[in-house]
Amino acid sequence: MNQTAANYQPPQKISKFSQPDKSKILSLSPSEKIKYTDSIRISYPKLQEMLSLVADCHNSSKTQARPTCMRISGESGTGKSNLFELYSKKYPVIYDINGTIKPVLYSRIPCPAYIGGLPPQLLYDLGDPFYNKSKTIILQTKRLYNLLKACKVEIIFLDEVQHLVDRNSHKLLRDSSDWFKELIDETGIPIIFLGIPDSDKIFIENEQLSKRVRIVNTTKEFDNDDTFRKFLYLYDMALPLEESSSIADSDMCCRLYNSTKGNVKNIHDLLVECVSIAIANNATRITMPMFAKAHSKILYSQSIKNPFT
């Protein structure tokens, strides 16, 4: 007999994450329910492991002269951005009369990447209205150091590192890796580098930077296994619908895996669209035709045929 979501119970150490107040969620307006669904982030063992490693890097700045940094590589949609979103929830931005306190800073490498674009991008993400006023990279970098200190930034997540590699420029790789090395040494702030596997080239280019980035990890798609079912179970419990949609049922689990290839972003986008369809039809759960319609709209290129038809 297939084990359905109705009686499928994940271990307590996983299920304690993200237990929503269902009554409050169900009282939301239709548009709020869709917005809420888009905000759902589910923690799972691999993500918990990386969150713990990020915390180790964060704490290293308080106990070591030179902080420990980390690089995380993985294909698009495998959960790298989720890592920042879950970690930053513990360190919210604080606005007061003395200015902004931003313990966790997230920034993306601009595209196309160039060495002069790095400091103004970080200044912009810090909220500096004069992020592009300094005439030289030296002045911009000094301004960045001062503002990082003023905003009490404790850790930096730097995403899309592969943009530095995409230019296929040896000089850009050398200059940018030197700039990151100096940023770490001058500020004492650990950096979490995020990017696709090709981004690892920047650390190969600069041995001194590689020595500072001592923790290496990877993200990947889910396998079609018990962990994937637990992940779907928690998602199902978090959806703003009155009934369970039984997505952790063994049959639905296989269909969802064939639809999304175990990619976290694909799963998220598919379920957001499914909830939108369910709400538009005043449905209390997601049905198979709704999954089929959502797949055709969102993930039609991900499989040879629609696994929900």
For the chain, the average pLDDT equals 88
Is there a common fold for 12-40+239-298 and 45-218?
no
Give the pLDDT of residue 291.
Answer: 97
Q: With bands split at pLDDT 50, 70 and 90, how would you rate the model's confidence at 205?
A: confident
SS (H, E, C) the chain: CCCCCCCCCCCHHHHCCCCCCHHHHHCCCHHHHHHHHHHCCCCCHHHHHHHHHHHHHHHHHHHCCCCCEEEEECCCCCCHHHHHHHHHCCCCCEEECCEEECCEEEEECCCCCCHHHHHHHHHHHHCCCCCCCCCCHHHHHHHHHHHHHHCCCCEEEEECCHHHHHCCCHHHHHHHHHHHHHHHHHHCCCEEEEECHHHHHHHHHCHHHHHHEEEEEECCCCCCCHHHHHHHHHHHHHCCCCCCCCCCCHHHHHHHHHHHCCCHHHHHHHHHHHHHHHHHCCCCCCCHHHHHHHHHHHCCCCCCCCCCC
- Among 16-20, 121-125, 200-204, which stretch is predicted with the lowest mean pLDDT? 16-20
* Amino acid letter for position 218: T
Give the pLDDT of residue 13.
Answer: 39
What is the rounded average pLDDT of the residues 267-281?
A: 97
The architecture that CATH gives domain 12-40+239-298 is: Orthogonal Bundle (1.10)
Domain boundary assignment for the chain: 12-40+239-298, 45-218
* Amino acid letter for position 163: H
What is the rounded average pLDDT of the residues 42-57?
A: 92
Q: With bands split at pLDDT 50, 70 and 90, how would you rate the model's confidence at 134?
A: confident
Give the pLDDT of residue 208.
Answer: 83
Give the pLDDT of residue 1.
Answer: 33
What is the rounded average pLDDT of the residues 270-277?
A: 97
Q: Quick one: tokens of 15?
A: 């299920």
CA distance 86 to 51: 8
Query: What is the pTM (predicted TM-score) of this model?
Result: 0.85
Whether the per-residue pLDDT at 183 is higher than 90: the answer is yes
Give the pLDDT of residue 15.
Answer: 38
- 289 versus 6: which is more confidently predicted? 289
What is the rounded average pLDDT of the residues 40-58?
A: 92
**What does the pLDDT look like over 3-29, one tens digit per residue?**
333 343 443 333 334 456 788 999 999
Give the pLDDT of residue 203.
Answer: 82
- Among 195-199, 225-229, 235-239, which stretch is predicted with the lowest mean pLDDT? 195-199
Place of tokens 């490498």: 109
Choosing among 3.30.1240.10, 1.10.3720.10, 3.40.50.300, 2.60.40.1180, the CATH entry for 45-218 is 3.40.50.300
Whether the per-residue pLDDT at 105 is higher than 60: the answer is yes
- For the chain, what percent of residues have pLDDT higher than 90? 65
Cβ proximity of 69 and 202 under 8 Å: no
What is the rounded average pLDDT of the residues 68-84?
A: 90
CA distance 64 to 74: 28
Q: Quick one: tokens of 226?
A: 């018990």
Q: Quick one: tokens of 284?
A: 């209390």
| Cis upstream peptide for 112 (omega within 30°) | yes
Rg (alpha carbons) of the chain, rounded to whole number:
22
49 closest CA partner among 14, 19, 76, 18:
14
Give the pLDDT of residue 303.
Answer: 62
CA 238 to chain centre: 18
**What are the CA-CA distances from residue 130 to residues 75, 126, 186, 197 (Å)?**
34, 11, 22, 34
72 closest CA partner among 165, 222, 197, 164:
197
Whether the per-residue pLDDT at 302 is higher than 70: the answer is no
What is the rounded average pLDDT of the residues 186-215?
A: 87
What is the rounded average pLDDT of the residues 99-115?
A: 91
Give the pLDDT of residue 63.
Answer: 87
What is the rounded average pLDDT of the residues 83-91?
A: 92
**What does the pLDDT look like over 145-174, one tens digit per residue?**
999 999 999 999 999 988 888 776 788 888
